[in-house]
Structure 1
Amino acid sequence: MKNKTIDYILRATWQAVSRMYNEEAAKYGGTMATGFVLLSIDKEKGTPSTALGPKMGMEATSLTRTLKSMEEKGLILKKKNPNDGRGVLIYLTEQGKEKRALSKNTVIQFNESIRKHISDEKWEHFIEVAETIGQLINDKEIFNQSENIENETHN
């Protein structure tokens, strides 16, 4: 993948991972998004619906659509939050817990398979690079960099 941009590599890799997860989830009547939600819900205490979007990096409209579909399939239950009358807690049904276990095993299998092909040193570098990219973006140091340099030279 030499001479390819970082964003191209990330996008192409993520699309391949996403396609793979969706193909696997389809075998069980699900999607990658459904599996991700199942894994993000606390299986004992439930999870506030407002906490799921930020936790998963998912837009509210997509999350709402996914939750509605999951509720219709009997994977989740919505209950009023006793600590916040305006809020809703999302709980897994027994079927949801079963599908969650499938999702968890799929993720573990993927990770174990990848780790067999990557040395510990390369794995550590991968994590470090990914975290650095995320941090630079979160700190707004990518596109504001030229503005920061300009401000420093004028001070």
Structure 2
Amino acid sequence: MFKHGIKVFIPMRAQKNRKKLCAHSNIVYIGRMNASDTIDFQLRWGWSKLARLYSSMAEHNGISLSVGYALLSIEKDGTPSTKLGPRMGMESTSLSRTLKGMETEGFIERRADAEDKRRVRVFLTDKGLVARGQIKELVIELNARLHELLGEEAAAQLLEGLSKLNELLEAPEQLIPTNWAPLNDNTLASS
């Protein structure tokens, strides 16, 4: 563990160079590789900033980022609550807390599934539909601005690349190097 709380795993062939690992501001150097040159770093860094922007804009309308995602993820004919977590990338405890707050605020209502009474579907209320419209407009406007600032060609390439990445991540085991050797905290501490 480094001072910034970043755990680093090194392929076996690079373990002899692990003493070269160091932390400098928000960037971790691995041998000669700069973390900011990696796809995952750029995704995390960019998403962190974009999420803060979305969050501040949504909160201006009295809606949290997680509530905004939920509003956009709930289908008009209702969505099974079990499908919302994976769709939103949320753990069930966080989702449960978010849905409870949304229900209290009057954005959603939960009803038994018409076909299977054991299942619960989440529906948007009229207030939820209005809030969804506001959030959807925000997303559309922000994405239009990104396209404008990036340029259509760069935006299209970015979307294509991210789409390919998401396809690869459907089977993440294919990304793991064959010589993978995770280091534990004790190994890093002895460096």
Q: Give the aligned partner of residue 13 of structure 1.
A: 46
Please say which of residues 62-71 and 50-59 is displaced more in the overlay: 50-59
The change in CA–CA distance for 1:122 and 1:64 in structure 2 (over 3 A counts) is same
Answer with 74-83 or 117-126: which moved more. 117-126
2:140 paired with 1:108 = yes
Query: Hey, what's the Cα distance between the residues in 1 that align with 2:72 and 2:36?
Result: 36
TM value normalised by structure 1 = 0.85
Tell me which residue corresponds to 1:39.
Answer: 72
Deviations 1:55-105 (A, max 9, x none): 222211111110001001011001111211111111111111111111001
Q: Which moved more, 1:125-134 or 1:80-89?
A: 125-134
Q: Distance in 2 between matches of 1:3 and 1:38?
A: 33
Q: Extract structure 1 runs of 4+ deviating beyond 4 A.
A: 144-147
Matches within 5 A, 1:81-92: 81-92=113-124
Change (3 A) 1:87 1:106: same
What secondary structure, in the 3-state scheme, does the structure 2 residue paired with 1:85 have? coil
CA distance in 2, matches of 1:28, 1:119: 29
1:150 paired residue number = none
Number of the residue aligned with 1:152: none
- Percent of pairs with identical residues: 36
Report the 3-state secondary structure (helix = DSSP H, G, I; strand = E; otherwise coil) of the residue aligned with 1:13.
helix
Aligned partners of 1:21 and 1:31 also within 8 Å = no
The offset of 1:13, in angstroms, is: 0.6
For the pair shown, which has the larger CA radius of gyration, 1 or 2?
A: 2
The answer to whether the 8 A contact 1:74-1:93 is kept is yes
Aligned length: 146
Are the aligned partners of 2:109 and 2:123 in contact in 1 as well (CA < 8 Å)? yes
Q: Shift of the alpha carbon at 1:138? A: 2.0
Question: How far did 1:118 drift?
Answer: 2.2
In 1, the alpha carbon distance for the partners of 2:54 and 2:44 equals 15
When normalised by structure 2's length, the TM-score is: 0.70
- Of structures 1 and 2, the one with the larger relative CO (CA 8 A, separation 6+) is 2
Q: Aligned partners of 2:57, 2:106: CA distance in 1, in Å?
A: 20
CA positional deviation for 1:132: 2.5
Bigger helix fraction: 1
CA drift at 1:19: 0.6
In structure 2, runs of 5+ residues without a counterpart are 1-33, 181-191
Q: Counterpart of 1:83 in structure 2: which amino acid?
A: E
> Is residue 81–residue 87 contact of structure 1 (8 Å, CA) maintained in 2?
yes
Note the 1:20-99 alignment, pairs <5 A. 20-43=53-76, 45-99=77-131
